[in-house]
Amino acid sequence: MKTVLIFLLLGALVGVGAASLIVPPTLSWYNETGFLSQKDQAGQVQAMVNIPQVIKYATSRLIKGQLIGGTIGAAAFLVIGIFVAAGSRKRRIAAAPATARPA
């Protein structure tokens, strides 16, 4: 059970890490160029979008992507952990009778 839990948590971390690398380029794919332009003579940047709304959208999508990635990673590593734990259990059961016999 301990091995399965370790694999589950490791999978969640790997999934979140992978999502942190995959989601930002995916979000930038939706972004169009030319949202900010130098319109003013004083050098101020005039925004063509609502910046707080863009930030809220991007961070919420990143967090959702990390949640999905963590869930997928945890599920995949759960299956791997179950197979590893079952294999080690079979080896222990096979080795136990040979060492348990009294002389």
Q: Is 70 exceeded by the pLDDT of residue 30?
A: no
Q: Is 70 exceeded by the pLDDT of residue 25?
A: yes
Predicted TM-score (pTM) of the model is: 0.66
Q: Where residue 67 falls among pLDDT bands split at 50, 70, 90?
A: very high
Q: Map residue 96 onto helix, strand or coil.
A: helix
Q: Is 90 exceeded by the pLDDT of residue 12?
A: yes
Q: Do 67 and 20 meet the contact criterion of CB atoms below 8 Å apart?
A: no
Task: Specify the pLDDT at position 35.
Answer: 46
Q: Is 70 exceeded by the pLDDT of residue 15?
A: yes
Q: What is the CB-side half-sphere exposure of residue 27 using CA atoms within 13 A?
A: 19
